[in-house]
Amino acid sequence: MDRENFIQSSVRIRHAEKKLLTKQQLQRLADAKNLEDAIKLLNETSYSSELSKLDRPENYEQVLSEVLNKTYKEAMEISPEKSLVEILSCKYDYHNLKVLVKENILKEKFDSMYCMLDGNEIEAFRELALKNDEGLSKDFKECLDFFETTKDPQDIDIFIDKKYFEKVLSLAEGFKLEMITEYFKAMIDFINLRTFIRCRKQNQVKETLEKVLIKGGDIDTDKILDMFYEDIEILPIKLKAYKIGRVLSKIVEEYKNTNSLNSFEKSMDDYLVEIVRKAKSIHYGAEVIFSFLFAKELEIKNLRLILVGKVNGLSADFIKERLREVYV
């Protein structure tokens, strides 16, 4: 992938990065007395244009969705390599594929569960998935066949999650960019270790863990399986040689004290931020577009945490504890 092809797009992205919300801005939003005050503060940022169309504060989700769609659309327009945008946007396709498979099995429509980008119509997605035997259509048909064999609804998510990671790892390998490959391998490691802890918590058998583990991470799935009968507290020691080993102590300690994995997602997101921040030292290249899309998604996730917290009357401190690190 020729870096020089990304000079113009990188300049535009660096300009857009200046409008990303800072940690201080997010904390101010978390300190707002209520949802209305939080929306007023948000109106002082780059979200003002979309907020001007908002009929009532409670409909903030419309604004977040519109900004996300707009971000992906603009990234697709300026990126010399469309698959670079697809590697992050395709998670929505695979989420929608899960919904579609369940619709076909239950013979019901679940329109509200879809997450469509770029204003795509749900019906168009349904038709596309049924249209041929390639890409998502192939995965859709294989998943239905797999379910017919097992009759276990959980297997739908397991099957499609594996297909999703096969797709993104294949794209990442094609880019030959260390940062992007490291990002997805780390995500797989986190997901597999969370699955490991949950299986142990629920007293599942080893075969259940083997079925759901995703291949392709830095930590080989056989190594995780070999630890199945070990105490969970041994994880940080056994995996200290791996990149994510240093954050496992905190995760395991929290689980030991609370019997909960509530902060697991935050630990994963914060770790991924560290990886993506490497792009800040790159003047131009594919990583610049990738990192901005990731940063914008994380910003929207933080805003959702804040605004949902305000709707439910949660304290500012409670909300701040759950906020992810920011890219800027």
CA dihedral 212, 218, 223, 225 (to 10 degrees): -10
- Sequence-distant contacts of 175-178: CB under 8 A, at least 24 apart: 175/1, 175/81, 175/83, 175/84, 175/87, 175/286, 176/1, 177/1, 177/285, 177/286, 177/287
Give burial (CB, 10 Å; 0-12/13-18/19+) of 94: middle
**Around Cβ 299, how many Cβ atoms within 10 Å?**
27
Contact 185, 216 (CB under 8 A): yes
DSSP 127-153: HHHHH-SSHHHHHHHHHHHHHHHH--T
Q: At 1, is the pLDDT very low, low, confident or very high (cuts 50, 70, 90)?
A: confident
Residue 327 in any domain: the answer is no
Alpha-carbon radius of gyration of the chain: 21
- Whole-model pTM: value is 0.92
Give the max Cα distance, the chain. 56
| Residues ≥6 apart with Cβ < 8 Å to 209 | 195, 196, 199, 224, 225, 228
Residue 220 predicted with pLDDT over 80: yes
Across the range 128-138, mean pLDDT stands at 82
The string of pLDDT tens digits covering residues 172-213 is: 999 999 999 999 999 999 999 999 998 988 889 999 999 999
The secondary structure of residue 55, as a DSSP letter, is: S
pLDDT of residue 259: 83
The answer to whether residue 66 is domain-embedded is yes
- Residue 151: predicted pLDDT: 87
- Total tally of structural domains belonging to the chain: 1
Identify the domain containing residue 150 by its residue range.
3-322
Query: How far apart are the C-alpha atoms of 227 and 96, rounded to whole Å?
Result: 34
DSSP 8-class letter at 56: S
Distance CA 327, CA 325 (A): 7
Do the domain assignments include residue 275? yes
Tell me which residue has tokens 């300049």. Answer: 11
pLDDT digit string (tens) for 312-326?
999 999 999 999 999
Query: What percentage of the chain has pLDDT greater than the value 70?
Result: 99
What is the C-alpha separation between 249 and 236, in angstroms, rounded? Answer: 5
Q: Determine contact, residues 287/279, Cβ cutoff 8 Å.
A: yes
Q: Using CA atoms, how far apart are residues 147 and 240, in angstroms rounded to an integer?
A: 38
Residue-wise pLDDT for 11-56, tens only, equals 999 999 999 999 999 999 999 999 999 999 999 999 999 999 999 9
What's the pLDDT band for 134 if we cut at 50, 70, 90? confident
Q: Above pLDDT 90, what percent of the chain?
A: 78
65 lies in a domain?
yes
* Predicted pLDDT at 119: 62
In a domain, 135, yes or no: yes
What is the pLDDT, as a whole number, of residue 305? Answer: 97
pLDDT confidence of residue 152: 85
Q: Is 223 domain-assigned?
A: yes
- Give me the mean pLDDT over the 104-127 stretch: 88
The b-or-e profile of 133-172 (16+ CB within 10 A means b, else e) is eeebeebbeebeebbeeeeeeebbebbbbbbbbebbbebb
Question: Does a structural domain hold residue 328?
Answer: no
What is the phi/psi pair of residue 20, to 5°? -65, 145
Complete DSSP assignment for 61-76: HHHHHHHHHHHHHHHH
